[in-house]
């Protein structure tokens, strides 16, 4: 067994269920667990303004993707594992670290500390993977290595076989196959992004594959935190620590729920936005290291650590946002400071106005009516008015009525966000469910409101303001999650 194989063996063992992915099929994480989270605090930046409103990237493919190229030697495109290599990696990938001593301040809580599996692409016919260093390829039939650019084509042959091409040398690889670079200084590049850990190609439907990134949780967070709350500065380090703990908690919760699934989380707003190594930034990295292995728990259970961009001054009870049962730690909380001003009040999304022509909004409603779960089911008609019929204690709309010439259609305020979509080319969801009655004048309809996102859990803009005001990460987290405890996660499957 080579040194690289010995390094990868624990990773492959934890991913053994992927070897049967052809039988399992690829299915998204079940909808009963986690409603999609909304726009991050970086919502103030146009680059991320479509959070929770963009179509999933799972159905896209990588045909024609551009990859970074470098001057490399393609002379030995594929090498069978065990053959001499002149460019053996100088470093081995770091192993997951278990704390030598558990914190007395943050008591231990057990969780399986395995690599997290992130769905990067679903149902693609082609992909391009690049490695500047020699990368290992592991398949059910054996192993080999390659260096440089590998073109993957899933359109020929059986559903569990792909054609991989490096420097015009073609090989058929049986799926699932795992690509891995055992150098800590090199990454596997997929399209424009570089990824730590392993890249796994699994069969999807006929002629397509899905691509999963398996890596250590702490490395995964490095590609999440900057995209969810922004890179920020050291002045907001405590907010970044709070975000790192919330994101880590969300991750471990999904890992426990999806242990028998082909992947744990999507790389999109369906779970947490993940940009691989390209998203990493210095100050967020500091926050992740400073909070290594810290998560949130309630009564010895890992919590659902939801978060959103801007609460508008008051967070929401989970049942008011999504229905279902109440949750003791996801309660509506005031976000006001001692003077009564909302911490998130300085955010650009705190107050908002949306205006449509009557014809444009009518068309939007017709297009997205299926997302509203209306009672009775929407049957069209000329739009006459939009009326708020009931509100939750936090101020968000709990019941909204669309009044048309064909009748009235009722839905929840959170569902209404995805029917009354914004007047933008991408038709993003309405910023929040905390809005006023619509006004109609001169053939236009206008809605004003406050906040951005579902309002459940941590308010990210509020967390940033609290950090600037001198609060530490524990104070920030306790301001948004009721009666939670900060705990240190350890491997519950390891021998104690």
Residue 403 lies in a domain: yes
CA angle 79, 80, 85 (to 5 degrees): 55
Residue 205 lies in a domain: no
What was the pLDDT predicted at 495? Answer: 53
Residue 374 lies in a domain: yes
Residue 433 lies in a domain: yes
Residue 40 lies in a domain: no
DSSP line for 421-436: --SSTT-PPPS-S-BP
What was the pLDDT predicted at 167? Answer: 85
Burial of 37 (0-12, 13-18, 19+ CB in 10 A): buried
- Tell me how far apart the alpha carbons of residues 315 and 333 are, in angstroms, rounded to a whole number: 5
- The 10 Å Cβ neighbour count of residue 355 is 16
Cα–Cα nearest to 455, from 382, 402, 392, 363: 392
pTM of the predicted protein model: 0.81
Quickly state the pLDDT bin for 488 (edges 50, 70, 90). Answer: very high
Give the orientation angle of helix 473-480 with respect to helix 460-468, to 10 degrees: 140
Number of domain units in the chain:
1
Is the model's pLDDT at 61 over the cut of 60? no
For residue 356, give its domain range. 351-450
Cα–Cα nearest to 174, from 364, 377, 19, 404: 19
The predicted model gives 205-216 an average pLDDT of 92
- Do residues 415 and 373 make contact, with C-beta atoms less than 8 angstroms apart? yes
Encode pLDDT of 253-266 as tens digits: 999 999 999 999 99
Q: Which of the pair, 81 or 281, is modelled with greater confidence? A: 281
- The 10 Å Cβ neighbour count of residue 345 is 18
Instruction: Give the three-class secondary structure for 69.
Output: coil
Residue 58 lies in a domain: no
- 108-111 sheet: strands from edge to edge: 108-111, 485-491, 294-298, 301-302
Residue 145 lies in a domain: no
Least confident window among 59-73, 130-144, 151-165 = 59-73
Quickly state the pLDDT bin for 33 (edges 50, 70, 90). Answer: very low
Residue 394 lies in a domain: yes
- Tell me how far apart the alpha carbons of residues 156 and 163 are, in angstroms, rounded to a whole number: 7
Residues 6 or more apart whose CB falls under 8 angstroms from that of 473 comprise 238, 239, 241, 242, 245, 291
Encode pLDDT of 388-410 as tens digits: 999 999 999 999 999 999 999 99
Cα–Cα nearest to 479, from 351, 342, 350, 349: 342
Residue 222 main-chain phi, psi, to 5 deg: -60, -30
């Amino acid at each position: 067994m080579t040194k690289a194989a010995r390094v990868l063996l624990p990773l492959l063992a934890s991913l053994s269920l992927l070897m049967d992915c052809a039988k399992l099929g690829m299915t998204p994480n079940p909808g009963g667990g986690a409603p999609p989270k909304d726009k991050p605090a970086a919502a103030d930046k146009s680059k991320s303004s479509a959070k929770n409103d963009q179509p999933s990237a799972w159905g896209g493919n990588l045909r024609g993707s551009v990859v970074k190229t470098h001057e490399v030697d393609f002379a030995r495109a594929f090498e069978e594992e065990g053959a001499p290599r002149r460019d053996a990696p100088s470093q081995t990938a770091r192993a997951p670290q278990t704390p030598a001593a558990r914190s007395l301040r943050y008591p231990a809580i057990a969780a399986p500390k395995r690599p997290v599996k992130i769905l990067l692409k679903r149902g693609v016919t082609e992909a391009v993977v690049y490695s500047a260093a020699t990368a290992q390829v592991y398949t059910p039939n054996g192993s080999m290595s390659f260096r440089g650019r590998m073109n993957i084509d899933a359109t020929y042959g059986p559903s569990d076989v792909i054609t991989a091409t490096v420097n015009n040398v073609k090989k058929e690889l049986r799926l699932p196959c795992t690509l891995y670079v055992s150098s800590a200084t090199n990454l596997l590049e997929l399209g424009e992004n570089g990824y730590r850990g392993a890249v796994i190609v699994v069969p999807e439907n006929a002629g397509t594959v899905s691509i999963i990134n398996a890596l250590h949780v702490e490395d995964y967070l490095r590609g999440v935190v900057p995209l969810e709350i922004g890179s920020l500065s050291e002045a907001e380090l405590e907010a970044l620590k709070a975000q790192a703990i919330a994101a880590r908690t969300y991750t471990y919760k999904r890992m426990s729920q999806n242990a028998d699934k082909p992947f744990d989380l999507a790389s999109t707003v369906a779970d947490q936005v993940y940009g691989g190594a390209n998203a990493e930034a210095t100050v967020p990295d500091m926050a992740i290291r400073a909070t290594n292995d810290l998560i949130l728990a309630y009564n010895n259970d890992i919590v659902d650590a939801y978060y959103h961009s801007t609460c508008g001054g008051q967070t929401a009870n989970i049942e008011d946002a999504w229905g279902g049962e109440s949750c003791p730690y996801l309660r509506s909380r005031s976000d006001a400071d001692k003077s009564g001003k909302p911490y998130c009040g300085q955010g650009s999304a705190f107050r908002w106005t949306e205006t449509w022509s009557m014809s444009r909004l009518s068309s939007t409603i017709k297009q997205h009516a299926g997302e509203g779960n209306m009672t009775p089911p929407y049957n069209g008609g000329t739009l006459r008015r939009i009326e708020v019929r009931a509100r939750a204690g936090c101020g968000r709309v709990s019941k909204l009525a669309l009044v048309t010439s064909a009748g009235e259609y009722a839905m929840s305020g959170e569902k209404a966000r995805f029917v009354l979509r914004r007047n933008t080319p991408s038709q993003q969801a309405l910023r929040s469910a905390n809005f006023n009655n619509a006004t109609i004048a001169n053939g236009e309809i206008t809605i004003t409101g406050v906040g951005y996102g579902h309002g459940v859990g941590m308010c990210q803009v509020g967390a940033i303001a609290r950090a600037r005001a001198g609060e530490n990460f524990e104070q920030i987290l306790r301001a948004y999650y009721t009666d939670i405890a900060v705990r240190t996660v350890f491997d519950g499957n390891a021998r104690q």
